[in-house]
């Protein structure tokens, strides 16, 4: 089987590594890929937003399965384009991808499906949004409707902060057209969890619950990022609850989309807040999380190519998947300044030493090759991922691997997994 992975981050490197282990995969292409994907497949210099270029390449190269890593190509119609070319695509159609492409659409689908979520209002006029904020008070959450590279959400502790967020998004347009519509919603408190399920339009199979770490610094301090680390399984959502959770937040969305003529095929990701009143959905994503994908795939047992093809073609079977009994922890090593401005071109050393431990894989994200040198090219540079007999051992192994890797002025959180450890030690 010839497979094309679309994207360039750590998630795509993890997908490529796991797909390369599938015995039926004869050729693996990654577009555009990074320094790590080049080691397991062939990088193709086509942007993930170039749907026409990706489809033309897939047709010419005889690709038999396209795998969408990020959400952008899905919101631009990658699945439809591949279908017209006769190529199965792992990922939903453009309409269903609106669950991530438009937060307003996602909230409306949640409401129609009866999924528990925070109260909200949608605005296209900044004055109306500010009047609503005055009426409801703070804290509130202000969200840009469209894709904003993971940065279009502001948890405002005061009315002034909330109004400033509205002005930034709707008046100053710091996120461009993504902020022309905003959602103002109730702020929820609790512990977050990531709950993903593979879907083939009719059937779904829940994956192991994860916990992401969005804030840049220890203790959930600092600005939001694309994710500074993740681990699974996450004890905040025990395996005994997966069935009930899927009934609550996965099945209703799939039914609504199918009823509207857009059955969901791909991976449906529910971002949850575990509140005192029960779990509430913060958002939906229509792709694997990054960095959640990395620890998930480290623990997954099964032929990933066959699993993803089954999702794309309506043949998913729970028996295709198995799970390691070990825990997995992913620690992101980032460039100084991220998620703001950061330097590039710093040489990376020590990956081979880190991966001398067979239970460690270093997934590359913001990297590129310069001759024999591997250098940084992004903010989130590496996802150092390790397995362990339990969460404590996985964390210890991941940070031991981090200590063997170097590039100038990197930083990482030192508390990935600590929330899970605290839950495990509670009487």
Tell me: pLDDT of 6 over 90: yes
Q: pTM of the entire structure?
A: 0.96
Among the four given CATH numbers 3.30.980.10, 3.40.50.20, 3.50.50.60, 3.40.1440.60, the one describing domain 2-94: 3.40.50.20
User: pLDDT per residue over 307-319, tens digit each?
Assistant: 999 999 999 999 9
What does 385-404 look like in DSSP terms, one character per residue? EEEESSHHHHHHHHHHHHTT
Tell me: pLDDT of 427 over 70: no
User: pLDDT per residue over 67-102, tens digit each?
Assistant: 999 999 999 999 999 999 999 999 999 999 999 999
Whether CATH 3.10.20.30 fits 125-180: no
Token representation of residue 140: 């509130």
Total residues belonging to the chain: 427
User: pLDDT per residue over 197-224, tens digit each?
Assistant: 999 999 999 999 999 999 999 999 998 8
Q: What does the pLDDT read at residue 204?
A: 98
Percent of the chain with pLDDT over 90: 96
The dihedral built from the CA positions of residue 299, 304, 306 and 308, taken in this order, carries a sign that is: positive
Q: Is 416:331 a contact under the CB 8 Å cutoff?
A: yes
Compute the average pLDDT of residues 399-411: 97
Tell me how crowded residue 325 is: count the other CB atoms within 10 A of its CB.
Answer: 9
Q: Is 302:321 a contact under the CB 8 Å cutoff?
A: yes
* C-alpha span between 324 and 385 (Å, rounded): 14
Task: Measure the CA dihedral 207/211/216/219, to 10°.
Answer: -170
User: pLDDT per residue over 371-391, tens digit each?
Assistant: 999 999 999 999 999 999 999
User: pLDDT per residue over 88-137, tens digit each?
Assistant: 999 999 999 999 999 999 999 999 999 999 999 999 999 999 999 999 99
- Please, how many CA atoms are within 13 Å of residue 268, restricted to the half-sphere of its CB? 30
Q: Is 364:34 a contact under the CB 8 Å cutoff?
A: yes
Q: What does the pLDDT read at residue 426?
A: 66
Task: Report the Cα 207 to chain-centroid distance in Å.
Answer: 13
* C-alpha span between 383 and 378 (Å, rounded): 12
CATH architecture of 191-425: 2-Layer Sandwich (3.30)
Token representation of residue 420: 């899970």
Where exactly are the structural domains of the chain? 2-94, 125-180, 191-425
Q: What angle do CA 92, 269, 335 make, to 5 degrees?
A: 105
């Amino acid at each position: 089987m010839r497979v094309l992975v679309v994207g360039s981050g750590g998630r795509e490197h993890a997908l490529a590594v796991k797909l390369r282990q599938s015995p039926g995969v004869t050729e693996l292409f990654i577009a555009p890929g990074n320094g790590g994907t080049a080691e397991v497949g062939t990088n193709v210099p086509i942007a993930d937003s170039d749907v026409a270029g990706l489809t033309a390449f897939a047709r010419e190269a005889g690709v038999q399965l396209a795998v969408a890593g990020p959400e952008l190509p899905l919101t631009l119609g990658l699945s439809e384009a591949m279908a017209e070319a006769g190529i199965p695509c792992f990922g939903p159609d453009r309409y269903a991808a609106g669950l991530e492409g438009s937060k307003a659409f996602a909230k409306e689908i949640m409401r129609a499906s009866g999924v528990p979520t925070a109260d909200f209002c949608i605005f296209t006029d900044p004055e109306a949004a500010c009047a609503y904020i005055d009426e409801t008070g703070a804290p509130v959450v202000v969200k840009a409707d469209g894709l904003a590279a993971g940065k279009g959400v502001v948890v405002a502790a005061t009315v002034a902060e909330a109004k400033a967020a509205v002005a930034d998004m709707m008046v100053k347009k710091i996120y461009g057209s993504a902020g022309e519509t905003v959602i103002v919603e109730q702020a929820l408190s609790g512990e977050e969890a990531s709950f993903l399920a593979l879907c083939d339009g009719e059937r779904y199979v829940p994956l192991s619950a994860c916990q992401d770490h969005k804030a840049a610094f220890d203790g959930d301090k600092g600005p939001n990022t694309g994710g500074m680390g993740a681990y699974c399984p996450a004890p905040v959502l025990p395996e005994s609850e997966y069935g009930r959770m899927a009934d609550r937040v996965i099945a209703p969305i799939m039914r609504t989309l199918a009823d509207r003529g857009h059955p969901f095929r791909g991976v449906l990701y529910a971002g949850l807040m575990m509140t005192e009143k029960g779990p509430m959905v913060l958002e939906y994503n229509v792709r694997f999380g990054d960095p959640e994908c990395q620890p998930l795939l480290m623990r997954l047992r099964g032929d990933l190519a066959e699993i993803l093809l089954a999702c794309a073609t309506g043949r998913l079977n729970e028996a295709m998947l198995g799970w390691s009994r070990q825990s997995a922890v992913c620690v992101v090593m980032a460039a100084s300044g991220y998620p703001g401005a950061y330097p590039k071109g710093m040489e990376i050393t020590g990956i081979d030493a880190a991966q001398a431990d067979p239970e460690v894989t270093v997934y590359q994200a913001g990297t590129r090759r310069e001759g024999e040198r591997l250098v940084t090219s992004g903010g989130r540079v590496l996802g150092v991922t390790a397995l362990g007999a339990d969460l404590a051992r996985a964390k210890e192994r991941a940070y031991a691997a981090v200590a063997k890797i170097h590039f100038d002025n990197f930083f990482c959180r030192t508390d990935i997994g600590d929330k899970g450890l605290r839950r495990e030690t509670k009487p």
